[in-house]
Every structure is written in structure tokens, then in C-alpha cells.
Amino acid sequence: MGHADVSREAERHLAEGTGDATRPAPAFYAHPRGARRGWAADAWTLLHPPYTAWHLASVVVGACLVGPVSVSRLCATLLAFFLAVGVGAHALDELQGRPLRTALPDRVLVGSAVVGLGGATALGLVGAMVVGPWLLAFVAAGLVLALGYNLELFGGVLHRDAWFAAAWGAFPVLTAAFAQHDAVGWPAVVAAAFAFCIAAAQRTLSTPARALRRRTSRVEGVIVREDGTREPLTAASMLAPLEAALKWLSWSMVALAVALAIAQLVNAR
């Protein structure tokens, strides 16, 4: 496939899902809309599938660093974070200016946020009866982070890059480790630092990607190579490396989580 073909394919993908070839889709994972647009397509987009999978992978990493691993505790922790972030936090985020441009009614988003965060909190309260009362501190911190970040409370301080990396990277690792083993050891602390760094990398890549897709009307320019070759600078050509890196990072986190889970299952035999 030649350069021109790649550029055309990138431009097509950039506009996919909007029904408008001049307006980029709000995210690379946005479900194709057009004539078949419906609530299922919007719900899929609202879940932010690559990032939700990435977030849940951090949960598995925290739970499976050391054994033995309780499958029931792991599943409950995964469900809680899916409800809190995959459903609740993302619904709240969409309420703030409709960044994903979904057609879901406000009442559906509010209901999703209540069910998601309420369900996660209920699971946390039940878990505290099994793990111990200190788990309630993680439940409370999770609520503050989810509400503070997505509603930009406290003057928007929790919406900064470092807080994002802490909340979406380090926090699930530490919470899952405590929920699994009733304590947070040094392996979990170091793994949380790793998750913080990789979430910071996600933020570094996704911020300019979002700006290109959602807040840029036109990109103009040309790249001139040392041999005189000229390549047009477009939104698609700028987005391609950013989003390719995001995709590879999300799959890398999932692969790491699966590897740790398999290792624990094998050791449990």
C-alpha cells in the first residue's frame, strides 16, 4: 500500500462514525454511526473499550502480583471498577459537554452514573465485611476521585495529569492488592508506580489526540525531508502515531494482566 493509499485510509478512519467526512470521529474507538446509529453504538462508545480494558488490567495486575489469589475477590473487584469507571465515571464525563457526541439522553447518563457508582459502592461495602473496615477508605477515595475528576470539583484540581495517572493507574493496583490480600506490600507499591507511569504516558498521548479530533478545524503544513521529499501534514498523519501507540499500550496492559492471572492459576494447582 502506497503513501497516498495510507493517507486516504487514515482520513477515512478519522471521519468514520460521524456521518460527516469533514468532521473527525470523537475517538478512534467510536462505533460507526451513519444511518445505523443507535443507542447500542453510543453505549459502546461511552464505555471507552480500550481504556476500560486498560483500567481493568491494572486491577488484575494488583490482585495477581502475589498469591494465593481468590477468584471471587478478583471478580468482585473487577466488577466494582467496571461499574465505577467503565459505566459511572464515563457517564459523568459525557454529561460535561458531550465530548463523545452521543445522543443518549441526560436522564440515561445520570441513571448510568448512579447505577455504576452506586453498584461499585455497594460491592465495596460488602467487601469490607470480608476484607476488613480499611477497605472502606479505598471505597471513599474511589468515590472522591471519580466524582472530583469527572465533575471537575475542587476547582478542577483532580482533573490534572498527575491526578489522572494516580486515579486511573496507581489506585486500581493498590485497591485490588488490598482487596485480595488485606494489605498493600512493596510489590503492589512498585506495580502502582509502574501503572502511574504508563497512565501518564496514556495521558501524554491522548491529550493531543483529543485536541486534534475534537477541537481542531483544519491542519495546514508540509514536512520536507532532507532528500527533498515533501509530505502533507494533516490531522490524520499527526493522529496516526499517537493512536497507534495508545492501542499498543492498551493491548500491552491487557497481555500483562492475562499473563499474571495465568501464572497464579497455574501456581494454584
Q: What's the one-letter identity of residue 135?
A: L
| Distance in angstroms (rounded) separating the CA atoms of residues 67 and 52 | 25
pLDDT of residue 13: 45
- Cα distance between residue 75 and residue 101, in whole Å: 32
Nearest-angstrom CA–CA distance, 168 and 253: 13
Query: Per-residue confidence of the chain (269 residues) as pLDDT tens digits?
Result: 444 443 444 444 454 444 444 568 899 998 765 445 678 889 999 999 999 999 999 999 999 999 899 999 999 999 999 999 999 999 999 999 999 999 999 999 999 999 999 999 999 999 999 999 999 999 999 999 999 988 888 887 888 899 999 999 999 999 999 999 999 999 999 999 999 999 999 999 999 999 999 999 999 999 999 999 999 999 999 999 999 999 999 999 999 999 999 999 888 76
Chain mean position to CA 149: 13
Contact between residue 176 and residue 77 where contact means Cβ atoms under 8 Å apart:
yes
Distances (CA, A) of 94 to 81, 122, 131, 171, 244: 18, 23, 33, 22, 24
> At a CB cut-off of 8 Å and minimum separation 6, what does 259 contact?
none
The alpha carbon dihedral of 236, 238, 241, 243 has a sign of negative
Yes or no: say if 135 and 128 are a contact pair by the CB < 8 Å rule. yes
The three cell numbers of residue 254 are 491487557
pLDDT on residue 2: 41
Cβ neighbours of residue 132 closer than 8 Å, sequence gap 6 or more: 182
